[in-house]
A and B are shown apart, each in its own frame.
Chain A
Amino acid sequence: MAMLEVNNIHTYYGNIHALKGVSITVEEKEIVTLIGGNGAGKTSTLRTISGLLKPRLGDIYFEGEKISDTPAHELVYKGITMVPEGRGIFARLTVFENLDMGAYSQPDRFTFDDDLDRVYQLFPRLKEREKQVSGTLSGGEQQMLATARALMANPRLLLMDEPSMGLAPILVESVFETIVEINKTGTTILLVEQNATVALSVANRGYVLQTGEIVLKDSAENLRKDEMVQKAYLGIE
């Protein structure tokens, strides 16, 4: 049984048919990437999985349990956390307060210090800026914070929406190194990206999304070799 099973979901914004039967599976301990251009439906897919949007058709299973009717705020408790598009940090709260909010779902505060240590080890930069108001962080630091905040909830499945967005190439690289590191500690990752080059370099498998439909799925290696992918997403003629 796959960890996450998305079965043929159709999601609408009013009359706009954003997802037209998307199916994705993610196995435990994998990094799976969903690549696609602007407006392909990547964010909609993540928002549907995380319960912020309801699919009109189709269903979603997490560890064998149906979650497509579960309200968003309950999913954290089941082990799914999202790093939203554009980071969505609480800009007016300090770095520490953001992390504290990330741990909101944690039942007791005893593990809080351990979690905080773990996260600070991964992002030493954040520890230095613990008391800084997070809106004044640089873009790269904000991405670190958004990721760190999600990790404070101890997720088993981490959904990431375009972590490379708006970052200089050198920062993108370091962000993706951390993603691999997070994955090594046993967290499964579903990574949504426009930047197919980096996404396919860290993922095990990938899906290609076009105007709300999956047009291709394969191992990351094969996708990198695929002619269509090379042309459309990797910038290779």
Chain B
Amino acid sequence: MKDLIKQGLRLGSIFGVVIIFLILFGLTSTLSDILGEFVNLESRTRTGNPGGLMILFALLSLWAGSSASASDRSNWKSALVSGVSVSLIIGLFVAAFILLVGFLDSADVEMRDYLAQLDHLSVQFLLYGRSLIAGVLITFGIFLIFGILGALLAYWYEAKQAGEVIQKQVLVLKEKALDSKLAKQYKENPRSKWIGYGLLGLVVFITPQFLGKYWNYAMGTVGIYVLMGLGLNIVVGLAGLLDLGYVAFFAIGAYTAGLLTAPAPLPLQIGFWPVLIFSIVMAAFAGILLGIPVLRMRGDYLAIVTLGFGEIIRVLIRSDMLAPYVGGPQGIRDIAGPSLFGIAFSGKAYLYLIIIAILLIILFTNYLQNSKVGRAWMAMREDETVAQAMGINTLYYKLMAFATGAAFAGLGGALFAARNQYTGPADHTLMVSINVLSLLIVGGMGSIPGVIVGAFVLKGLPEILRELDLYRLLVFGGLLVFMMIIRPEGIWPAPRRRMELHEGELDVLPPEESLVGKEG
């Protein structure tokens, strides 16, 4: 009993402090706007949607209540105790905070001087556009009611019988789904797999037709990140080499395309298509040049050296010294785009070009993965020394992974520069490397579908939730931490990796993943 209360109080104070922080950052008003729009609530105040705020608080306290009751859900009394203690504390924390700012605001104290988010309008919003007392009481009430509700709901869900019934139902549903004719057909007929791919391909090819200009552009960016993700996936996911300077090869691709096709700073103006190939070659070449000295190192050292390489490239393209050759901080303008039969590519055509590039790269990666090269990478990632003893030239295969990954990034860079008709140092910051690595982590290391999902989550979602743009980094960090805790293998992991991270749950590989029968 005492323990329950104690734990409730502890959890409650954590939630309380976090919520106050969210308010101070102004994140609550953004979130409540989104929630309010979601349920179509009219806004009564000018900043933030008070109805949305109520929903937000209710959701948060449901969450707090249910997690507080997690320690003991054996009977409804202990669930109630946890719920009451946690929601009381959160309610007190937040209500007290709102009372304080509301009071200061009514006393005409300028809090904005200290806390930018706390202007008069925001305070009105926190009080739901009502009086001080009403606002504070509503807040307290919401937390209390929904916190207790959360705890009891969780208890009810877990309660033995209910739990079993639900579990059984889920199982029955699952079996039904597996038994359904469609599923059976799918299983028995390998052709259906190809039909599935075909349908998917059709969707991919039709979608751009329905997207407006802005979305075409946004999806193009996602596509370029998919390309880079596929490249880094080979380096990190398949060969197990941690490369933190991946942006260097993206920059080399972009700058090769830029310098060779733009009128200035070098008056070369070669056409797009040959230059595209050349950009890929240049990036791969840079990969080999960097790889030869660096790939003898392991783990952390490799990460640090590549990180440095990425920065060196960025500093070089920015530098005044090289400005006459690469454009300096201003970058390169008027980069030529592709054209076919004399017609320049539109935004839509670009998206198709990127999609085609992605498909080709996926086919190529698939081929590599199932060939002798893929086996060598797998052995290397498992145990480098033993791989050598099996006759695998590890240095060679590392170089190969490095160069292949670099080539893909070069392709991405060239397409990126040509689409924007501009590239400059600001396009090639460390953040690009971090983004690509993060999309691998979020999507699932070593998995091609994972790369695509990861790119959509990290580059696509921010476009959809543009209101959250300010908090991109916050959300980004939160998402990574969240993934590491909840699903460390990524959203769509490679089966082998899922197995590694959930040891003991699965000790036989699904047949399609095994190498049995491949390469007859």
Q: Chain A interface (Cβ within 8 Å of chain B)?
A: 50, 52, 71-77, 81-82, 84, 88-94, 96-97, 100-102, 104-105, 109, 130-133, 136, 149, 153
> What interface size band does chain B fall in?
20 to 34
A131 to B372 Cα, complex, angstroms = 20
Contact between A136 and B507, CB atoms less than 8 A apart = yes
Q: A73-B393, A76-B390 are in contact. Are A97 and B515 (CB under 8 A)?
A: yes
Please give, as numbers and ranges, the residues of chain B lying within 8 Å of A74 by CB-CB distance: 391, 393
Cβ of B515 and Cβ of A100 under 8 Å apart? yes
21 A–B pairs (Cβ distance < 8 Å), ordered by A: A52-B385, A52-B389, A72-B389, A73-B393, A74-B391, A75-B391, A76-B389, A76-B391, A77-B391, A88-B383, A88-B385, A90-B378, A90-B379, A93-B378, A96-B516, A97-B378, A104-B391, A105-B391, A133-B508, A149-B390, A153-B390
Residues of A with C-beta under 8 A to B508? 94, 131-133
Contact B389 A50 (CB under 8 A): yes
- The answer on a CB contact under 8 Å between A104 and B375 is yes
B392 nearest CB across to chain A (Å): 6
Docked pose: A94 CA to B508 CA in angstroms? 8
The total of interchain contacts (Cβ-Cβ below 8 angstroms) comes to 87
Return the 9 tightest CB-CB contacts between A and B, nearest first.
A105-B391, A76-B391, A90-B382, A88-B386, A72-B388, A73-B393, A104-B390, A136-B507, A73-B388
A101 to B388, CA, bound (A): 11
What 1/0 flags go to B381-402 for Cβ under 8 Å of A? 0110111111111100000000
Is the C-beta of B500 less than 8 angstroms from some C-beta in chain A? Answer: yes
Which A residue's beta carbon lies closest to that of B511? A131
Tell me how far the C-beta of B296 lies from the nearest C-beta in chain A, rounded to whole angstroms. 13
Tell me what chain A mostly uses at the interface: helix, strand, loop, or mixed: mixed
B residues with a Cβ closer than 8 A to A are 372, 375-376, 378-379, 382-383, 385-394, 496, 499-500, 507-509, 514-516, 519-520
Shortest Cβ distance from B267 into chain A, in angstroms?
Answer: 48
Whole-angstrom CA separation of A12 from B228 in the bound complex:
43
Asked whether B375 lies within 8 Å of A91 as measured between CB atoms, the reply is: no
B-chain residues with CB within 8 Å of residue A81 when the two chains form the complex: 389
Q: Determine which of A73, A100, A136 lies in contact with B391 in the assembled complex, contact meaning CB atoms within 8 Å.
A: A73
In the complex, what residues of A have CB within 8 A of residue B388's CB? 52, 71-73
In the complex, what distance in Å separates the CA atom of A75 from the CA atom of B372? 19
Which of B386, B391, B393 is most buried by chain A, counting CB atoms within 10 A of its CB?
B391
A107 to B348, CA, bound (A): 48
Q: How far is the CB of B161 from chain A (nearest CB, A)?
A: 36
How distant is A136 from chain B, measured CB to nearest CB, in Å? 5
Residues of A within 8 A of B382 (CB): 90-93
Contacts of B390 in A (CB 8 A): 73, 76, 101-102, 104-105, 149, 153
Q: Which residue of A lies closest to B379 (CB)?
A: A101
* A133 contacts B386, C-beta separation under 8 Å: no
B131 to chain A, nearest CB (A): 63
Residues of chain B within 8 A (CB-CB) of A101 are 375, 378-379, 387, 390
Distance between A7 CB and nearest chain B CB, rounded to angstroms: 23
**A79 to B379 Cα, complex, angstroms:** 20
Closest Cβ of chain B to A9, distance in Å, is: 19
Q: How far is the CA of A81 from the CA of B389 in the complex (A)?
A: 7
